[in-house]
């Protein structure tokens, strides 16, 4: 047993689903160029997971989320995942809802090429791989998954 404790990054992802479609952003620039992922971000120091998602939704998509309408359905523990040029353990919270206030608009055009809804049955090929795994877990009713990137080096 090791004496080194994990200090994982904590991420939040908005799984906004309406009429069988999921809101996704196509990233631009950096190592995520051309990949699709939900509105997402990091949890800041001394910030709660749901509060972080509410902040990210406003910053990235210009929408207001209410705590009462949000539910953490899946937690994905990414082991030794590629992260900004290095590797890290990441705890991602996938928070599902079908309601929001405001008008969805791309508030970060320097990082996001597009922001739109995509049919769950025809998602973009360049969707981040672990998002597919989360959607499968959600359909099965699983609320926790582990994705081991140690096996994918």
Residue 17 has pLDDT above 90, yes or no: yes
Residue 35's DSSP bridge partners are none
Domain 9-152: give its CATH architecture: Alpha-Beta Complex (3.90)
What pLDDT sits at residue 151? 66
pLDDT in tens, 20-78: 999 999 999 887 899 999 999 999 999 999 999 999 999 999 999 999 999 999 999 99
What pLDDT sits at residue 31? 77
What sign has the CA pseudo-torsion 29, 87, 49, 51? negative
For the chain, give every domain's residue range: 9-152
Provide the token pair at 38: 């939900």
pLDDT in tens, 98-140: 999 999 999 999 999 999 999 999 999 999 888 999 999 999 9
Burial class (CB in 10 A: 0-12, 13-18, 19+), 60: buried
What pLDDT sits at residue 30? 81
Residue 5 has pLDDT above 80, yes or no: no
Side-chain half-sphere exposure of 2, counting CA atoms within 13 A: 3
What pLDDT sits at residue 4? 75
What integer is the mean pLDDT of 84-89? 78
Separation between Cα atoms, residue 2 and residue 89, nearest integer Å: 16
* 124-127 contacts at long range (C-beta below 8 A, 24 or more positions apart): 124/24, 124/26, 124/36, 126/34, 126/35, 126/36, 127/24, 127/35, 127/36, 127/37
Phi then psi for 126, rounded to 5 degrees?
A: -90, 30
């Amino acid at each position: 047993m090791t004496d080194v404790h994990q200090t994982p990054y904590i991420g939040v992802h908005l799984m906004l689903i309406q009429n069988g479609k999921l809101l996704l952003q196509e990233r631009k620039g950096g190592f995520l160029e051309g990949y699709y992922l939900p509105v997402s971000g990091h949890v800041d120091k001394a910030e709660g997971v749901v509060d972080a998602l509410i902040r990210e939704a406003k910053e990235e998509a210009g929408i207001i989320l209410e705590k009462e309408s949000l539910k953490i359905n899946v937690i994905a523990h990414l082991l030794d995942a590629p992260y900004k040029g290095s590797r890290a353990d990441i705890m991602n919270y996938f928070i599902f809802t079908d309601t929001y206030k405001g008008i969805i608009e791309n508030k970060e055009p320097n990082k996001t090429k597009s922001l739109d809804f995509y049919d769950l049955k025809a998602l973009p090929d360049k969707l981040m791989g672990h998002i597919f795994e989360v959607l499968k877990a959600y359909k099965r009713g699983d609320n926790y998954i582990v994705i081991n990137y140690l096996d994918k080096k």
